[in-house]
């Protein structure tokens, strides 16, 4: 059934594009809109959205692990914190130029994820969850103890400065910088998922034994996925530091790891776009909850999470996919398919 | 020597606190297959209800009794309203549901009862004992007694009664259990109800020493998880032993290992969980999972 | 593959090109506005009839107990507005939730300054949260007044952060007062210390140790804890084992209550010192047991509304009336509520003294402020030439029923 044989009857289908361009065009559209945001909205909204980008990148990492890999991690806040603290320490000592902190953080988080994953990934399900939980809880006491990480007071760092020839304000520059990094990571994730590694991962997720039987190196694939996932979280932490300019032990509690998990579920598993929804949820759900009633913020976003799961058990993206699938079964299409079927019957 | 003994005794007292909540966690996992992050907050809520009844003038026994009834009904309601509509969802979805409940209960508790700490009377006397140079309170000894009794009852219930068997079946294989005639929905509801009562018991045991406030159980939760993981997520006896081991280990490390001050003490239970999970994931007393290929 | 990468890069470049082309005419809303000097035109957030203020509080999260601070502030402003406002201006106060998360505190600061256009920020609560946003607020040239945090940092470097001034007495100053008190009454005492291992406890501890250096006082035991711990009973047992004569206790909330009770039940009867934020009779001493709490030492700088001694005091009555009328949900015995009130009264005084409707003029008024006694104890003055407005405190002793002020007020000028 090649693309050439399909005869589009409806008007929308007539806009058929050459294969392989739909995806990139969608990405281009999203990026264009996103890139214009800092010039349209106030500095306050732009700084909020910069944080959304940072959270979305980390959520994407977790989504790769959970949605595609079928693993679980209650400790991704820890990798986010590692990335954030590493970037903060590098920036506060002026060791490397700002832009270099991202690849450095990426590599360090990848290694950290790999080292942690090697022993941890022998576990599954709730046990893997528990062992990653210990990681999340261990972060705060450890960074509070050492002076290089600023101890209990934390570290204030200089945020990336906009080069004067660009003529941007600092808030705009930081936003666009984070957007650029995030774009690379998101597109990279898309490619990763469709690559051989990605297919191995999904195969592994579906059935570990058969995957192993057909030659997938189970241990290596799982550990590499975990490492990639940790890398994304670490770079998310880096972007967080660019956006906020401050790290402290209070910024990275267990609650953060829990929020990343909730973001994956709310956004939609096995969806790269879902990570963006997740990032938006992490940033804005508490803010809107506080607007409703400051004294009940926790209750409101707790209830929101519960309602979200009722109404959209497979996340926002999942619900959107279902709606699209339902919409494609229009009466016209149904009749056409029925007609073609009639032709084939004797 | 006296110092060592005192440290161990203090560790057992702390461990009993962890074990109390761990028992509720184990029960709900065994009876419903759910890891309930909101267990602590539900326990705090029940304890606040008891406190409210005490403020209204009820004697302690009546207040606690009434609270247990309210907790039981409340637990069943939570299962019915929040969990049943999403039955069949995978583990992660349910975890996020319980997380939502955590935020909900925590915030609601503060909104209803405020953020101050309150004293809570103990069902045991306030006398102190001295055993071999170490100081004990009747409170901590009594707590141990209650915990042992509860663990024994749970063990007997699950292993030796038909109802317990039905509940285990409902938790592990709801579909096949239905086919076998087990009223799964009612079993799950019952499980949540009983777990809520256990949470209330934990609260009543723990609040006299910790003082009742919105965050009383939040700080205990991670330790309770550690205790349950160490002992085995489906073993009531394991929850107790796990709790005591963690309490004692933590206190010994805090007292004798100079590097570990009060701030790094939490690393001890975390390290224990990690080591146990890597060597024997099902914990000391948990049942091994056998997977058919 | 290539199509994707190109499709990604092109719009970014286009956006950048547009930005460059449109630079200068673009709304660079992130740039810091220069502080307008004293003079005619008004700054944002203030008009002839109203002035907008704002602050950030931990309404949710681990520090939610401190959210009651805002009641005191709200009651004070509502009462002032009912009386016609300050210099004819009604005060509008926006309190935002930061959940004790420094990133959200920074967001809140952005919102207050850029969206709500507040004239000044008042009473933001918490230490890490204020740390996260004070750079931004100072860059934006907005007054950051009377922070509700006793951290010594706020007054330590006024040149770097000229728009910020602390609100609570500094923890270091308070610790020094305890040190000097001990040097006076028990010059060779053995001391056991319990401290909360975060910026609160570390600030107190540092100030205290520094002050007793070189004296006859000796610390023979030290234990710490973190706020995520369930109990400090073990720590107190360890301290009691040292049989120290003095128990210096830099803890908060339920931990202070536990410490008092545990010490008493162990039969350890040292001279017990607790920090002033935890010196509330109804919130701390009653749950711990009034008899157990007899003899406890702390400092005092405000009138206790439950103390019959101040029952007829006009300022205390005004405070109680306002809280009852405008924020009935608040508990007037709650020390936080009283602190919010004190901070708001200082703000009102500053607004009255302000010569021009500009932020710079407000800061000038703040730095030369003279505040009537109000609910502060007689002799306690608000002196803003240094970083800490309140530096005078009485040492006080709880006699089982009320706090008794010992001796004359002490002014501790070393705040950091």
What CATH number should be reported for the domain holding residue A117?
1.10.3470
Domain that holds residue A287: 22-313
Best of B210, B262, B268 to disrupt the C interface by mutation (most C CBs within 10 Å)? B262
Name the neighbours of A, counting chains with at least 3 Cβ pairs within 8 A.
B, C
**Cβ–Cβ below 8 Å for A176 and C59:** no
Give the model's pLDDT for residue A277: 92
pLDDT digits (tens, 9 = 90+) for A61-120: 999 998 888 888 888 999 999 999 999 999 988 888 888 999 999 999 999 999 999 888
Computed over every residue of chain A, the mean pLDDT equals 84
Q: Answer yes or no: is B36 within a domain.
A: yes
Over 80: is that where the pLDDT of A202 sits? no
- Is residue A292 located within the same domain as residue A337? no
Best of B28, B100, B111 to disrupt the A interface by mutation (most A CBs within 10 Å)? B100
The mean-pLDDT minimum among A14-18, B270-274, C117-121 falls in A14-18
User: What pTM value is reported for the model?
Assistant: 0.87
Name the neighbours of B, counting chains with at least 3 Cβ pairs within 8 A.
A, C
Distance CA B291, CA B282 (A): 14
- Is residue A133 located within the same domain as residue A253? yes
Place of tokens 């009537």: C372
H or E segment and range at residue C238 = helix C233-241
Give the length of chain C.
Answer: 416
Cβ contacts of A172 on chain C, cutoff 8 Å = 19, 28, 30
Over 60: is that where the pLDDT of C5 sits? no
**Cβ–Cβ below 8 Å for A187 and C5:** yes
Q: Answer yes or no: is B6 within a domain.
A: yes
Q: Chain B residues contacting A, CB < 8 Å? A: 35, 37, 82, 85-86, 89, 91-93, 95-97, 99-108, 110-111, 222, 225, 229, 233, 263-264, 266-267, 270-271, 273-274, 277-278, 281, 293
- CB contacts under 8 A, A 195-254 vs B, are 209, 254
Q: Answer yes or no: is A26 within a domain.
A: yes
Q: Answer yes or no: is A4 within a domain.
A: no
Q: How far is CA C127 from the centre of its chain?
A: 8
Put simply, whether A183 touches C (Cβ < 8 Å) is: yes
Tally A–B CB contacts below 8 A: 114
Distance CA B183, CA A227 (A): 44
Strand order in the sheet with C90-97: C90-97, C50-57, C120-122, C144-147, C164-166
Distance CA C276, CA C283 (A): 12
Q: Is the dihedral of CA C394, C395, C398, C404 positive or negative?
A: negative
Domain that holds residue B169: 2-279
pLDDT digits (tens, 9 = 90+) for C186-234: 999 999 999 999 888 999 999 999 999 999 999 999 999 998 899 999 8
How many domains would you assign to chain B?
A: 1
Query: With bands split at pLDDT 50, 70 and 90, how would you rate the model's confidence at A323?
Result: confident
Distance from CA of C254 to the nearest CA of B (A): 6
**Cβ–Cβ below 8 Å for B274 and A309:** no
- Is residue A229 located within the same domain as residue A334? no
Cβ contacts of A310 on chain B, cutoff 8 Å = 85-86
Distance CA B52, CA B58 (A): 9
HSE-up of C314 (CA within 13 Å, CB side)?
Answer: 3
Distance CA B91, CA C412 (A): 58
CA distances (Å), origin A92, targets A82, A245, B211, B244, C356: 15, 10, 42, 44, 39
Distance from CA of B202 to the nearest CA of A (A): 22
In 3D space, the residue among A79, A27, A43 whose CA is nearest the CA of residue A174 turns out to be A43
Highest mean pLDDT among A59-63, B83-87, C36-40: A59-63
Over 70: is that where the pLDDT of B261 sits? yes
Put simply, whether A28 touches C (Cβ < 8 Å) is: yes
Give the model's pLDDT for residue C24: 32
CA dihedral C357, C361, C362, C365 (to 10 degrees): -130
- Is residue A144 located within the same domain as residue A267? yes
Cβ contacts of B86 on chain A, cutoff 8 Å = 309-310, 313
Give the model's pLDDT for residue C28: 33
Give the model's pLDDT for residue C34: 37
CA distances (Å), origin C330, targets A292, C243, C303, C316: 20, 41, 18, 15
H or E segment and range at residue C54 = strand C50-57
- Is residue A141 located within the same domain as residue A62? yes
Give the length of chain A.
Answer: 346
- Of the candidates B102, B264, B273, the beta carbon closest to that of A145 is on B264
CA distances (Å), origin C345, targets C66, C70, C117, C310, C315: 19, 13, 22, 18, 11
- Of the candidates A48, A176, A184, the beta carbon closest to that of C107 is on A48
Q: Calculate mean pLDDT across residues B229-256.
A: 91
pLDDT digits (tens, 9 = 90+) for A140-191: 888 888 888 888 888 888 888 888 888 888 888 999 999 999 999 999 998 8
Query: With bands split at pLDDT 50, 70 and 90, how would you rate the model's confidence at B178?
Result: confident
- Is residue A221 located within the same domain as residue A323? no
Distance from CA of C141 to the nearest CA of B (A): 35
Distance CA B59, CA B52 (A): 12
Give the model's pLDDT for residue B98: 93
Q: Calculate mean pLDDT across residues C14-26.
A: 41
Give the model's pLDDT for residue C35: 40
Q: Answer yes or no: is B257 within a domain.
A: yes
Put simply, whether C2 touches A (Cβ < 8 Å) is: no
Strands C218-225 and C190-196: parallel
**Cβ–Cβ below 8 Å for B104 and A258:** no
Give the model's pLDDT for residue C36: 40
**Cβ–Cβ below 8 Å for C237 and B10:** yes
Residues paired with C224 in a beta bridge: C195
Q: Answer yes or no: is B284 within a domain.
A: no
Query: With bands split at pLDDT 50, 70 and 90, how would you rate the model's confidence at C9?
Result: low
Q: What is the DSSP string of C357-414?
A: SSHHHHHHHHHT-----TTBPTT--B--SSS-SB-EEEEEEE-SSSEEEEEEEEE---
- Is residue A246 located within the same domain as residue A328? no
**Cβ–Cβ below 8 Å for A137 and B101:** no
Query: With bands split at pLDDT 50, 70 and 90, how would you rate the model's confidence at C12?
Result: low
Put simply, whether A189 touches B (Cβ < 8 Å) is: no
- Is residue A287 located within the same domain as residue A326? no
Phi, psi of C160 (to 5 degrees): -75, -30
- Of the candidates C197, C254, C265, the beta carbon closest to that of B211 is on C254
Distance CA C114, CA A44 (A): 6
Query: With bands split at pLDDT 50, 70 and 90, how would you rate the model's confidence at C314?
Result: very high
Distance from CA of C132 to the nearest CA of B (A): 23
ipTM score here? Answer: 0.90
Over 70: is that where the pLDDT of A1 sits? no
Q: Answer yes or no: is B289 within a domain.
A: no
Give the model's pLDDT for residue A341: 59
How many domains would you assign to chain A?
A: 2
**Cβ–Cβ below 8 Å for B262 and C254:** no
Over 80: is that where the pLDDT of A17 sits? no
Over 90: is that where the pLDDT of B202 sits? yes
C265 to chain B: nearest residue by CA?
A: B128
**Cβ–Cβ below 8 Å for B107 and A297:** yes
Q: Which 8-state DSSP code applies to residue C120?
A: E
Put simply, whether A127 touches B (Cβ < 8 Å) is: yes
Distance CA B154, CA A256 (A): 35
Distance CA A94, CA A161 (A): 13
Computed over every residue of chain C, the mean pLDDT equals 85
**Cβ–Cβ below 8 Å for B10 and C62:** no
C215 by Cβ neighbours in 10 Å (0-12 / 13-18 / 19+) ranks as middle
H or E segment and range at residue A77 = helix A76-92
Contacts of B290 (CB under 8 A, 6+ apart): none
Put simply, whether A159 touches C (Cβ < 8 Å) is: no
Cβ contacts of C3 on chain A, cutoff 8 Å = 20-21, 24
Q: Is residue C250 helix, strand or coil?
A: strand
Distance from CA of C358 to the nearest CA of B (A): 38
Q: Calculate mean pLDDT across residues B22-27.
A: 94
**Cβ–Cβ below 8 Å for C257 and B211:** yes
How many other CB atoms sit within 10 Å of the CB of residue A15?
Answer: 8
Q: What's chain C's Rg over C-alpha atoms?
A: 24
Which domains, ranges and CATH numbers included, belong to chain C? 41-169+309-385 (3.40.50.2300), 172-300+395-411 (3.40.50.2300)
Give the model's pLDDT for residue C169: 87
Give the model's pLDDT for residue B220: 93
Distance from CA of B289 to the nearest CA of A (A): 11
Cβ contacts of A286 on chain C, cutoff 8 Å = 60, 97, 99, 104
Place of tokens 């939502």: B100
A327 by Cβ neighbours in 10 Å (0-12 / 13-18 / 19+) ranks as exposed
Q: Is the dihedral of CA C402, C404, C409, C412 positive or negative?
A: negative
Distance from CA of C411 to the nearest CA of B (A): 31
Q: Answer yes or no: is A5 within a domain.
A: no
The mean-pLDDT minimum among A10-19, B47-56, C96-105 falls in A10-19
Cβ contacts of A147 on chain C, cutoff 8 Å = none
Tally B–C CB contacts below 8 A: 88
Put simply, whether B216 touches C (Cβ < 8 Å) is: yes
Name the neighbours of C, counting chains with at least 3 Cβ pairs within 8 A.
A, B
Q: Calculate mean pLDDT across residues A228-255.
A: 92
Q: Answer yes or no: is A2 within a domain.
A: no
Backbone conformation region of residue A154, classed left if phi is above 0, alpha if psi is from -120 to 50, else beta: left
Over 80: is that where the pLDDT of C317 sits? yes
Q: Is residue A217 helix, strand or coil?
A: coil
CA distances (Å), origin A204, targets A125, A265, A305, C57: 14, 21, 30, 47
Structure tokens at C90: 């009604």
Query: With bands split at pLDDT 50, 70 and 90, how would you rate the model's confidence at A2?
Result: very low
Over 70: is that where the pLDDT of A315 sits? yes
- Is residue A307 located within the same domain as residue A330? no
Give the model's pLDDT for residue C199: 85
pLDDT digits (tens, 9 = 90+) for C347-400: 999 999 999 999 999 999 998 887 877 889 988 877 777 667 888 899 999 999
Give the model's pLDDT for residue A39: 85
B216 to chain C: nearest residue by CA?
A: C230
- B181 or B100: which carries more pLDDT confidence? B100
- Is residue A186 located within the same domain as residue A237? yes
Q: How far is CA C131 from the centre of its chain?
A: 13
**Cβ–Cβ below 8 Å for A244 and C3:** no
Over 60: is that where the pLDDT of C32 sits? no
CA distances (Å), origin B40, targets A165, B60, C52: 56, 22, 41
Best of B29, B103, B287 to disrupt the A interface by mutation (most A CBs within 10 Å)? B103
Cβ contacts of B229 on chain A, cutoff 8 Å = 127, 130
pLDDT digits (tens, 9 = 90+) for C37-89: 444 457 889 998 999 999 999 988 778 888 899 999 999 999 999 999 999 99
How many other CB atoms sit within 10 Å of the CB of residue C324?
Answer: 12
Put simply, whether A42 touches C (Cβ < 8 Å) is: yes
HSE-up of B140 (CA within 13 Å, CB side)?
Answer: 23
Q: Which 8-state DSSP code applies to residue A272?
A: S
Distance CA C267, CA A108 (A): 53
Structure tokens at B224: 């309770």
What 3 state SS string does chain B have? CHHHHHHHHHHHHHHHHHHHHHHHHHHHHHHHCCCCCCHHHHHHHHHHHHHHHHHCCCCHHHHHHHHHHHHHHHHHHHHHHHHHHHCCCCHHHHHHHHHHHHHHHHHHHHHHHCCCCECCCCCCCCCEEEECCEEEEHHHHHHHHHHHHHHHHHHHHHHHCHHHHHHHHHHHCHHHHHHCCCCHHHHHHHHHHHHHHHHHHHHHHHHHHHCECCCHHHHHHHHHHHHHHHHCCCCHHHHHHHHHHHHHHHHHHHHHCCCCCCCCCCHHHHHHHHHHHHHCCCCCCCCCCCCCC
**Cβ–Cβ below 8 Å for A32 and C11:** yes
Query: What b/e sequence results for A78-106 when a residue is b if at least 16 CB atoms lie within 10 Å of its CB, and e otherwise?
Result: bbbbbbbbbbbbbbbeeeeebeebbebbb
Over 70: is that where the pLDDT of B38 sits? yes
**Cβ–Cβ below 8 Å for A27 and C4:** yes
A334 by Cβ neighbours in 10 Å (0-12 / 13-18 / 19+) ranks as exposed
Distance CA A84, CA A90 (A): 10
Distance from CA of A157 to the nearest CA of C (A): 10
- Which CATH number does the domain housing residue B142 bear? 1.10.3470
- Is residue A288 located within the same domain as residue A338? no
Distance CA B76, CA B193 (A): 5
The mean-pLDDT minimum among A27-36, A98-107, C148-157, C336-345 falls in C148-157
pLDDT digits (tens, 9 = 90+) for B134-170: 788 888 889 999 999 999 998 888 888 888 888 888 8
Q: Between vectors from CA C99 to CA A47 and to CA A255, what angle results, nearest 5°?
A: 95
**Cβ–Cβ below 8 Å for C197 and B266:** no
Q: Answer yes or no: is B288 within a domain.
A: no
- Is residue A336 located within the same domain as residue A296? no
């Amino acid at each position: 059934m090649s693309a050439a044989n399909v005869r589009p009857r409806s008007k929308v289908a007539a806009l058929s594009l050459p294969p392989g361009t739909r995806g990139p065009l969608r990405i281009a559209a999203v990026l264009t809109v996103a890139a214009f945001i800092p010039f349209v909205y106030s500095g306050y909204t732009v700084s909020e959205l910069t944080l959304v980008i940072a959270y979305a990148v980390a959520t994407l990492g977790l989504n790769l692990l959970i949605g595609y890999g079928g693993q679980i991690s209650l400790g991704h806040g820890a990798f986010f914190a590692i990335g954030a603290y590493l970037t903060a320490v590098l920036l506060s000592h002026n060791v490397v130029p700002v832009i270099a902190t991202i690849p450095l953080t990426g590599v360090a988080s990848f290694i950290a994820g790999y080292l942690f994953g090697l022993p941890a990934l022998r576990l599954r399900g709730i046990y893997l969850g528990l062992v990653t939980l210990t990681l999340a809880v261990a972060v705060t006491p450890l960074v509070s103890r050492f002076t290089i990480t600023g101890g209990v007071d934390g570290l204030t760092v200089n945020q990336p400065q906009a080069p004067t020839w660009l003529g941007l304000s600092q808030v705009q520059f930081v936003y666009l910088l984070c957007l650029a990094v995030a774009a690379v990571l998101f597109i990279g994730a898309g490619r990763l998922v469709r690559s051989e590694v990605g297919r191995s991962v999904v195969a592994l997720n579906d059935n570990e034994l058969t995957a192993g039987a057909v030659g997938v190196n189970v241990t290596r694939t799982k550990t590499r996925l975990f490492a990639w996932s940790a890398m994304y979280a670490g770079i998310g932490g880096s972007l967080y530091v660019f956006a906020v300019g401050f790290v402290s032990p209070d910024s990275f509690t267990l609650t953060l790891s829990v929020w990343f998990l909730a973001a994956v579920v709310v956004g939609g598993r096995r969806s790269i776009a879902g990570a963006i929804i997740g990032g938006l949820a992490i940033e804005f759900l508490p803010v809107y909850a506080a607007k409703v009633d400051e004294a009940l913020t926790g209750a409101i976003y707790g209830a929101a999470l519960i309602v979200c799961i009722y109404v959209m058990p497979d996340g926002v993206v999942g619900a959107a996919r279902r709606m699209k699938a339902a919409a494609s079964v229009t009466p016209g299409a149904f009749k056409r398919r029925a007609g073609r079927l009639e032709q084939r019957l004797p | 020597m006296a110092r060592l003994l005192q440290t161990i005794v203090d560790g057992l007292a702390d461990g009993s606190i962890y074990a109390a909540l761990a028992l509720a966690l184990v029960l709900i996992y065994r009876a419903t297959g759910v890891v309930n992050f909101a267990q602590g907050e539900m326990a705090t809520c029940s304890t606040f209800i008891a406190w409210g009844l005490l403020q209204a003038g009820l004697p302690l026994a009546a207040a606690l009794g009434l609270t247990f009834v309210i907790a039981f009904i409340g637990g069943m309601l939570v299962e019915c309203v929040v969990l049943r509509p999403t039955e069949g969802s995978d583990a992660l979805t349910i975890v996020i549901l319980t997380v939502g409940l955590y935020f909900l209960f925590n915030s609601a508790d503060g909104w209803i009862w405020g953020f101050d700490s309150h004293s809570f009377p103990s069902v045991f006397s306030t006398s102190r004992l001295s055993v071999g140079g170490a100081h004990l309170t009747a409170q901590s000894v009594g707590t141990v007694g209650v915990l042992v009794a509860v663990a024994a009852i749970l063990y007997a219930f699950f292993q030796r009664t038909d109802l317990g068997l039905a509940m285990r079946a409902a938790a592990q294989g709801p579909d096949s259990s239905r086919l076998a005639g087990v009223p799964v929905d009612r079993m799950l509801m019952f499980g949540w109800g009983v777990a809520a009562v256990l949470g209330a018991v934990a609260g009543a045991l723990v609040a006299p020493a910790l003082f009742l406030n919105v965050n009383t159980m939040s700080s205990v939760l991670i330790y309770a998880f550690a205790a349950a993981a160490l002992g085995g997520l489906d073993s009531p006896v394991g929850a107790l032993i796990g709790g005591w081991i963690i309490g004692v280990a933590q206190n010994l490390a805090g007292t004798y290992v100079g590097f570990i001050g009060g701030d790094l003490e939490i690393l001890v239970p975390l390290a224990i969980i990690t080591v146990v999970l890597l060597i024997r994931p099902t914990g000391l007393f948990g049942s091994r999972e056998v997977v058919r290929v | 593959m290539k199509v994707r990468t190109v499709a990604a890069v092109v719009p970014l470049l286009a956006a950048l090109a547009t930005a460059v082309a449109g630079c200068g005419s673009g709304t660079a809303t992130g740039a810091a506005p220069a502080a307008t000097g004293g003079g005619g035109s008004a700054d944002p957030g203030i008009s002839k009839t109203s002035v907008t203020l704002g602050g950030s509080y931990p309404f949710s999260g681990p520090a939610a107990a401190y959210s009651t601070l805002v009641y005191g502030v709200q009651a004070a402003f509502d009462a002032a507005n009912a009386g016609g406002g300050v210099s004819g201006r009604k005060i509008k106060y926006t309190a935002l939730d930061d959940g004790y998360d420094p990133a959200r505190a920074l967001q809140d600061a952005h919102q207050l300054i850029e969206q709500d256009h507040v004239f000044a920020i008042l009473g933001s609560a918490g230490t890490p949260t204020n740390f996260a946003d004070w750079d931004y607020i100072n860059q934006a040239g907005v007054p950051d007044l009377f922070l509700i945090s006793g951290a010594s940092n706020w007054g330590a470097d006024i040149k770097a952060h000229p728009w910020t001034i602390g609100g609570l007495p500094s923890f270091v100053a308070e610790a020094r007062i305890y040190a000097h008190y001990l040097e006076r009454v028990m010059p060779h005492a053995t001391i056991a210390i319990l401290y909360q291992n975060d910026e609160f406890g570390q600030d107190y501890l540092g100030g205290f140790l520094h002050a007793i250096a070189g004296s006859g006082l000796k610390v023979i035991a030290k234990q710490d804890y973190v706020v995520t711990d369930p109990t400090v009973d073990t720590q107190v047992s360890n301290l009691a084992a040292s049989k120290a004569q003095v128990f210096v206790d830099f803890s908060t909330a339920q931990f202070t209550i536990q410490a008092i009770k545990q010490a008493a039940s162990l039969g350890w009867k040292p001279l017990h010192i607790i920090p002033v934020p935890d010196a509330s009779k109804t919130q701390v001493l009653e749950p711990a047991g009034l008899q157990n709490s007899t003899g406890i030492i702390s400092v005092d700088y405000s009138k206790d509304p439950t103390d019959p001694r101040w029952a007829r005091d006009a300022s205390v009555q005004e405070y109680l009336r306002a809280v009852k009328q405008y924020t009935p949900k608040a508990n007037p015995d709650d020390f936080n509520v009283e602190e919010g009130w004190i901070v708001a009264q200082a703000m009102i005084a500053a607004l009255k003294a302000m010569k021009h409707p500009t932020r710079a003029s407000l800061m000038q008024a703040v730095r030369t402020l003279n505040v009537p006694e109000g609910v502060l104890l007689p002799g306690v003055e608000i002196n803003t030439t240094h970083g800490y407005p309140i530096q005078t405190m009485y040492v006080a002793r709880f006699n089982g029923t009320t706090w008794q002020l010992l001796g004359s007020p002490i002014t501790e000028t070393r705040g950091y």
